[in-house]
A = this chain, B = another copy of it.
Amino acid sequence: MDKKKVSILGAAGYAGVELFRLLYSHPRINIYKLSSVSFEGQELSSVYKNLGNINNYKLVSQDEAIESADVVFAALPHGLSEAVAQQCKGKIFIDLGADFRLNDEAGYKKWYGNDFAEKSLHEYSVYGLTELNREKIRGAKIIGNPGCYPTSIALGLYPLLKNKIIGASIIADCKSGVTGAGRAVTQTTHFTNCNEAFAPYKLAMHRHTPEIEETLSYMYSGEVRVTFVPHLLPVNRGILSTIYCDNIKNYSLSQIYNLYTDFYKDEFFVRVLPLGGAANISNITHSNFCDISLHVDEHTNRIIVVSAIDNMIKGAAGQAIQNMNICLGFDEKAGLELLPPAF
């Protein structure tokens, strides 16, 4: 059987190289070509030494990578993907940037600074939160792969929102590993500024806010507002979101637990923890799983949901592959069946 030809644009960034690594052992596709503006002409393995002697993936131009590919992943800086999507018509295009995540053009302009460049594409692009939009993804040609923070928050709250069990004003206190900041060298990502350090950043001003609110509001069928505060953790990978909700219907912990286990019973990649446990990034890093733990503070009548994903896998490359698998009619788990390591 012919394998599908898959290209990666922006392969030398962190999301790009993680896509490469996971796709490299995917049983049903071939990696076709990789592009990079900064490293064009070099082997990917000369940039990422973990790839060792894999020496047949020279970084080429974007046009070369797109031509003849069946599937194109883009892991580019925000704002460059709409033109690429236009160029990829007829192929499956999966964008890991922000260009196709928002329906609301005004919100996009407010947070990203410009209008949609190719409005017509947004009419049929699909937001790639798999567990929310699986059916739409099945036939999609353009997929806006979700941000890492939005994925962790939306999966954590979906059952509560869908059933309107909580109030519409939510607090998401989120903590991310440093890979979330990407490959660029900055004082923020200097080892001595991250190690033995911990702080929030962009408090209530992060660009994932509109995506979070749009997704949660869609799940809720009503406007949801979120106080979103991300923090930088001194670890490589992982996002943990601690989410505080008003328990407006006075659900007990066991009711909530039953709701979640039932809601997610067919979702392989969502693991609802037994009561008493707490989600921990160390249990899901290097995998596509999302761990969710549930807690009630009766004293203040709040529900606390803790959700953990690997920001580079379920929060980026893994979910993108999960979406590709659905588009191409593969087993949704293909290439993603890695168990997370114990350490």
Contacts and interface: CB of A to CB of B under 8 A. Distances in A.
Interface stretch (A81-89, A129-137, A158-166, A230-238): A230-238
Given A187-B185, A192-B189, A198-B282, A25 B203 contact: no
Given A196-B285, A339-B25, A343-B179, A295 B203 contact: yes
Contact of A204 (B175, B200, B296): B296
Contacts of A286: 286, 341
A28 B148 CA distance: 35
A183 to B, nearest CB: 8
A201 interface: yes
A51 interface: yes
A196 B183 CA distance: 16
A178 interface: yes
A258 interface: no
B244 A341 contact: no
Number of chain A interface residues as a range: 35 or more
Interface of A: 14, 17-18, 21, 24-25, 48-54, 169, 171, 173, 175, 178-179, 183, 185-187, 189-201, 203-204, 209, 225-227, 229, 231, 233-238, 240, 242, 244, 271, 273, 277-286, 289, 291, 295-297, 299-300, 302, 304, 306, 308, 312, 337-343
B203 A278 contact: yes
B304 A235 contact: no
Contacts of A278: 199-201, 203
A108 B187 CA distance: 32
A169 B24 CA distance: 43
B171 A192 contact: no
B280 A171 contact: no
Contacts of A194: 191, 195
Given A191-B190, A229-B304, A198 B235 contact: yes
A242 B14 CA distance: 29
Nearest to A46: B274
5 contacts: A48-B342, A185-B186, A195-B195, A195-B234, A196-B235
Contacts of A300: 169, 204, 225-227
B227 A173 contact: no
A48 B186 CA distance: 15
A50 B190 contact: no
Nearest to A203: B295
A6 to B, nearest CB: 16
B235 A195 contact: yes
A169 to B, nearest CB: 6
Contacts of A14: 192, 342-343
A235 to B, nearest CB: 5
A25 B27 CA distance: 13
Nearest to A298: B204
Given A191-B178, A302-B227, A199 B339 contact: no
